[in-house]
């Protein structure tokens, strides 16, 4: 039976996006949520935030919350608000990624120097390489080790420091189309992280790493008895989240700089500037689901009223699906692969319903925005 592939009638989210939902008018749940936010009474959620902050607020100036951040727009925005608007005492934590980009290092340094207490964690590089390589091969997720570590390490440090409140930036599932499980809850737990953000593959990758001699505590969540004391929240739950506004605040108050030209695979230049592996992640996302970074950025711009769907369509056609040629040598060296071995992994995750090989590269069978039926 043929399967219909379609696009949101408001933005360009595809029906292939994991966990996405559409209403009877063909609008995705990211767009319906965006519309709801405009007329929503945020006072009850502001009260929830104040109750949460007051519950954990220190009276002696000691750290009372943790903010995982890279020095980018969202973590910087959250830390700025906590410290300067709400009088909290955040401890900011960065997990060093593989294949760091110079701009990312510059932005992190600027953020720290703008007045924040900060811990920079560098997991054993060989352990990180093993986890990332296994994630690339077994999940099609090229920085799976780092993705794991930015969930596990803040929670582990929170338990060690006795800080029971952790703030991440956006709930990407709610904001960009996906699970709405956390839409009505101010906090969530590590089991949600495992299921959604680590795509249910955490235990599998850990077992494979163990077979490769890697059993590093930084890639494990705290024991249940410790983790259950923690309250983990997305800042986006408490306000009408706008990533471009976050960028402006971070630029003005935390020294954030953008790239001089557009980022790989998209038309924007102020996000995901910390690691080269993100470009490979965006390309694999495109091959798996048919949409890449430009589609995601275009959706954000449409929902905040900065462009219309036709403008977005042109940009997606221009930028989506970029093969990150500029970083391939770095990838081969990092993973210890030949070009042929690397290509074999890439090919494994290409969705044959959506793509076909043309001149050695995967080309779409579809036209963005036009309903498409797969052949089975």
Which three-class secondary structure string do you get for 5-26? ECECCCCCCECCCCCCCECCCC
184: CATH? 3.40.50.620
Q: Are residues 134 and 274 in the same domain?
A: no
Query: Does 247 reside within a domain?
Result: no
Return the closest-CA partner of residue 168 out of 221, 231, 106, 223. Answer: 231
The CA R_g of the chain, rounded to the nearest whole Å, is 21
Q: Are residues 82 and 197 in the same domain?
A: yes
Return the closest-CA partner of residue 213 out of 92, 276, 320, 131. Answer: 131
Q: Are residues 94 and 231 in the same domain?
A: yes
Query: Does 251 reside within a domain?
Result: no
Query: Does 244 reside within a domain?
Result: no
| Biggest CA-to-CA distance, the chain | 65
Distance CA 13, CA 29 (A): 10
Q: Are residues 25 and 95 in the same domain?
A: no
Q: Are residues 28 and 121 in the same domain?
A: no
Query: Does 229 reside within a domain?
Result: yes
Q: Are residues 48 and 195 in the same domain?
A: yes
Strand-pairing partners, residue 168, are: 234
Query: Does 246 reside within a domain?
Result: no
Q: Are residues 304 and 215 in the same domain?
A: no
Q: At what angle do helices 293-303 and 243-254 cross, to 10 degrees?
A: 90
Q: What is the residue-level pLDDT of the chain in tens, covering all 376 positions? A: 688 999 999 999 999 999 999 999 999 999 999 999 999 999 999 999 999 999 999 999 999 999 999 999 999 999 999 999 999 999 999 999 999 999 999 999 999 999 999 999 999 999 999 999 999 999 999 999 999 999 999 999 999 999 999 999 999 999 999 998 889 999 999 899 988 889 888 999 999 999 999 999 999 999 999 999 999 999 999 999 999 999 999 999 999 999 999 999 999 999 999 999 999 999 999 999 999 999 999 999 999 999 999 999 999 999 999 999 999 999 999 999 999 999 999 999 999 999 999 988 999 999 999 999 987 6
Q: Are residues 108 and 123 in the same domain?
A: yes
Dihedral in degrees, nearest 10, Cα atoms 183, 187, 192, 198: 90
Number of domains in the chain: 2
Dihedral in degrees, nearest 10, Cα atoms 235, 239, 240, 243: -30
Query: Does 253 reside within a domain?
Result: no
Residue 201 Cα to chain centre, angstroms = 16
E strands present in the chain: 4-5, 65-68, 90-95, 117-121, 165-168, 231-234, 355-358, 361-364, 372-373
Show the tokens assigned to 141. Answer: 């997720």
Domain final residue, candidates 237, 270, 300: 237
Domain final residue, candidates 183, 208, 237: 237
Q: What is the pTM of this model?
A: 0.95
Domain span at residue 15 reads 4-39+258-373
Q: Are residues 51 and 147 in the same domain?
A: yes
Q: Are residues 306 and 178 in the same domain?
A: no
Query: Does 34 reside within a domain?
Result: yes
Question: Residues of 272-292 as b/e, b for ≥16 C-beta within 10 angstroms?
Answer: bbbbbbbbbbbbbbbbbbbbb
Q: Are residues 117 and 223 in the same domain?
A: yes
**Could you tell me whether strands 90-95 and 65-68 are parallel, antiparallel, or unpaired per DSSP bridges?**
parallel
Distance CA 297, CA 12 (A): 10
Distance CA 328, CA 323 (A): 9
Query: Does 61 reside within a domain?
Result: yes
Helix (H) or strand (E) holding 302: helix 293-303
Phi, psi of 107 (to 5 degrees): -65, -40
Q: Are residues 114 and 231 in the same domain?
A: yes
* Residues 198-246 pLDDT 10s: 988 899 999 999 999 999 999 999 999 999 999 999 999 999 999 999 9
């Amino acid at each position: 039976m043929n399967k219909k592939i379609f696009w949101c009638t408001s933005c360009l989210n595809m029906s292939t996006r994991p966990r996405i939902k559409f209403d009877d008018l063909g609008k995705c749940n990211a767009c319906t949520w965006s519309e709801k936010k405009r007329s929503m009474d945020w006072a009850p959620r502001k009260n929830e935030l104040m109750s949460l902050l007051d519950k954990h607020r220190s009276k002696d100036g000691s750290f009372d919350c943790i903010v995982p951040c890279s020095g980018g727009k969202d973590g910087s925005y959250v830390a700025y608000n906590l410290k300067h608007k709400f009088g909290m005492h955040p401890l900011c934590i960065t997990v060093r990624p593989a294949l760091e980009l110079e701009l990312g290092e510059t932005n992190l340094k600027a953020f720290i120097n703008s007045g924040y207490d900060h811990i920079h964690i560098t997991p054993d590089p060989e352990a990180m390489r093993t986890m990332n390589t296994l994630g690339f091969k077994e999940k099609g997720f090229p920085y799976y080790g780092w993705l794991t570590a930015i969930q596990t390490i803040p929670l582990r440090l929170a338990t060690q420091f006795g800080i029971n409140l952790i703030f991440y930036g956006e709930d990407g599932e709610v904001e960009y189309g996906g699970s709405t499980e956390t839409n009505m809850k101010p906090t969530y737990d590590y089991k949600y992280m495992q299921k959604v953000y680590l795509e249910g593959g955490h235990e599998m990758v850990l077992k494979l790493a163990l077979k490769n001699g890697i059993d590093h505590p930084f890639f494990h969540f705290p024991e249940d008895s410790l983790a259950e004391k923690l309250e983990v929240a997305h800042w986006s739950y408490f306000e009408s989240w706008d990533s471009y506004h976050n960028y402006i605040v971070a630029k003005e108050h935390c020294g954030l700089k953008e790239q001089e030209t557009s980022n790989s695979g998209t038309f924007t230049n102020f996000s995901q500037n910390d690691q080269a592996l993100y470009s490979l992640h965006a390309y694999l996302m495109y091959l798996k689901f048919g949409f890449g970074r430009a589609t995601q950025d275009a959706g954000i711009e449409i929902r905040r009223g900065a462009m219309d769907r036709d403008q977005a369509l042109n940009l997606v056609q221009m930028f989506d699906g970029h093969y990150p040629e500029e970083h391939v040598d770095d990838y081969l060296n990092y993973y210890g692969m030949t070009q042929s071995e690397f290509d074999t992994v890439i090919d494994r995750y290409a969705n044959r319903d959506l793509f076909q090989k043309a001149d050695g590269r995967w080309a779409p069978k579809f036209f963005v925005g036009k309903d498409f039926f797969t052949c089975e």
